[in-house]
Amino acid sequence: MTDKRNRPPPGEPWVWLTAEMMKSDAWRSAGINSRRLIDFLLIELMAHGGQGNGALLAPEEQLSSVGIGRRYVACAIREAETLGLVDCYRRGRRVATLFGLNWLPSLNGSPPNDRWRDYRNPKLKPWPKRERAGA
């Protein structure tokens, strides 16, 4: 019998986040507005059945409505890009920017680029080692 306790509720969209990524310097260095951008993109991806990574839209008006002040939107996007968590595909003036989450496969089937693994923040303390039971 399989254990179904740690599963998404039936009919609920979901997306995975690995412990490695969440312990990474990139994830831990993200400010609140970058995290709100990432949350918005995750929800947008789930709204499309997990399809379309690399072609996600995040209009300024919608980002503002989820708590990113209009004057902070560009900074949040730059930070998420610098951390390697998000890639932006700018297509020109007055044309919507498309976004991709770098730990998930892209729309065209290519594997994640995992740029977040390369980011280092010397100000962060290392993640604590897990102590083994009975050691």
Residue 7 lies in a domain: no
pTM reported for the whole predicted model: 0.89
**pLDDT of the residue at 39:** 97
**pLDDT of the residue at 133:** 65
Range of the domain at 98: 19-104
Residue 93 CA to residue 99 CA, distance in Å, equals 16
Residue 79 lies in a domain: yes
Place of tokens 């989820």: 66
Sheet holding 56-57, edge to edge: 56-57, 98-101, 86-89
What is the number of domains present in the chain? 1
- Where does the pLDDT of residue 10 fall: very low under 50, low under 70, confident under 90, or very high at 90 and above? confident
**pLDDT of the residue at 18:** 92
Residue 127 lies in a domain: no
Residue 2 lies in a domain: no
Mean pLDDT of 54-73: 95
Window from 47-51, 90-94, 114-118, 126-130 with minimum mean pLDDT: 90-94
Mean pLDDT of 37-52: 95
Contact 85, 116 (CB under 8 A): yes
Per residue in 81-115, is it b (16+ CB within 10 Å) or e — as a string? bebbbbbeeeeeeeeeebbbbbbbebeeeeebbeb
Residue 115 lies in a domain: no
- Where does the pLDDT of residue 106 fall: very low under 50, low under 70, confident under 90, or very high at 90 and above? very high
> Can you give the CATH number for the domain in which 29 is found?
1.10.10.10
Residue 134 lies in a domain: no
Statement: residue 94 has pLDDT above 80: no
